[in-house]
A = this chain, B = another copy of it.
């Protein structure tokens, strides 16, 4: 598949009845109301014959989520040949099959031994090779693109607007949205983007990744591992996220709301081509 398939944009489908549930409750006046809430369902991921993980997800794009998780955990190499992806919706299972034989028995064991079963462990493995990654210096972010993108993302139909309580992750090229994925966890949303990039052979070098979540160390590491040179969020930063972005030369933009933003790393890729209203205040 060629890069031109990137024109095949994928957006949220808030009309999909599997993604939300209507529940009843009462509001502040004591009146009975009905509202939409997002669903969470377990998806168990197998790589060939091996059970890898059970993810809590809204349930759309299970193939992309499975592929993206494996890629971002370095269990699938970019040059691996994926021979088949089977999804069983009833069982909540996705099976990714590769030409190469795989066995992560030792890797899964090692995680437990080093630091138990929380974020820290996944994190440890994810840093592999981080220092050697060269992000594309020539990539640019025009402030006019940034303002256009954040406005479009806030207005395009989404589960966020329909039901709230969900994270979004959007792959963009210049001022265009290519892939807009949502999920209960922001890591699932970014993994789905990684999976779709792999499936559609979308090159990362000139892309911009937008996330609704905070710019933590893990989000920075994933973006760098995906070779995307620019990361934008409407939320804020953590010190380690900023530090890692500076080390990797990632352009890190946070608190992007209205016409305001803050760049704390890789500022050289920014081009100030939009007029900024004097006295504009953060919402």
Contacts and interface: CB of A to CB of B under 8 A. Distances in A.
Interface in A154-194: 163-165, 184-185
A122 interface: yes
Given A108-B112, A164-B236, A239-B40, A267 B25 contact: yes
A263 B23 CA distance: 10
A210 interface: no
Contacts of A51: 115-116
A250 to B, nearest CB: 13
Given A33-B262, A118-B122, A165-B238, A216 B276 contact: no
Q: Is the interface of A mostly helix, strand, loop or mixed?
A: mixed
A272 B276 CA distance: 46
Given A40-B239, A121-B54, A267-B26, A112 B112 contact: yes
Given A184-B216, A237-B37, A255 B164 contact: yes
A78 interface: no
A28 to B, nearest CB: 5
Interface in A185-213: 185
User: Looking at chain A, what size class is its interface with the partner chain?
Assistant: 35 or more
Contacts of A55: 118-120
A214 interface: yes
A264 to B, nearest CB: 4
B118 A259 contact: no
A123 B56 contact: yes
A130 interface: no
Contact of A116 (B53, B235, B261): B53
B112 A117 contact: yes
Contacts of A270: 26, 30
Interface of A: 20-21, 23-30, 33, 35, 37-42, 44, 51-56, 108-109, 111-112, 114-123, 143, 163-165, 184-185, 214-217, 235-242, 254-255, 259-265, 267, 270, 272, 276
Given A37-B238, A164-B236, 18 more contacts: A25-B263, A26-B263, A29-B272, A33-B262, A37-B236, A39-B238, A39-B239, A39-B240, A40-B238, A53-B118, A54-B121, A55-B120, A56-B119, A108-B116, A111-B112, A111-B117, A164-B235, A165-B236
